[in-house]
Amino acid sequence: MGSWRTTRHRKQPMSWEKEVDELREQTEFAKEMGGADSVAFHHSRGRLTVRERIGLLEDPGTFHEVGSIAGTAQWEDDAVVALKPANSVVGTVHVDGRKVAVSGGDFTIRGGAADAAVGNKGGFAEQFALQARIPYVRLLDATGGSVKTFEKMGRTYLPGNAGTNLSAELLQFVPVV
């Protein structure tokens, strides 16, 4: 009788290659932001995309994005064929050699409107900066209001915007830009 350690009783290791390839493909979809036409429109107005602004801020090659594939996927059979990412780009960069949390609205997706958000990615960046005690840079391109959201909610975010408490707490511990 063989031991459980013998090769004939061992299962072959599971391969995650297919899943990793799918994640890489979805990450590439996310980098397209709102699509070529939306990026071109953004540029025609003399504006940089959020990824371009992060690229100017960071020490070259230091951007580490978090949650890049958060968004709305379009599926055909068992494969994602398109991905509309959340309208917020979040991660860390190094600025003059120092690690910094960064977030910014992607205005190539519904003009950066809050109703195109997925979860609370910006809030995650603030929370991460607070927990890690690192500076936080938020790249703003507008105030963030949306008539569509107002019509849906029947009110504005103010004065009850829950995110302001975290922002105020963060200011007590780290530089915020």
Regions in the chain scoring below 50 on pLDDT: none
What is the structure's pLDDT at 55?
96
What is the structure's pLDDT at 161?
60
What is the structure's pLDDT at 93?
98
Amino acid residing at 73: A
- What sections of 79-161 are H helices per DSSP? 121-132, 147-153
What is the structure's pLDDT at 115?
52
What is the structure's pLDDT at 140?
82
Q: Phi/psi of residue 73, each to 5°? A: -95, 150
Helix axes 121-132, 163-171, angle to 10 degrees: 30
* Residue that is written with structure tokens 């709305």 in the block: 72
What is the structure's pLDDT at 131?
94
* Residue that is written with structure tokens 């507008």 in the block: 142
What is the structure's pLDDT at 71?
84
CA neighbor of 91 nearest in space, from 82, 100, 83, 81: 100
What is the structure's pLDDT at 150?
67
Q: Does domain 15-171 have CATH number 3.90.226.10?
A: yes
- Domains of the chain, by residue range, sit at 15-171
Name 30's bridge partners: none
Cα-to-chain-centroid distance, residue 60: 19
What is the structure's pLDDT at 14?
76
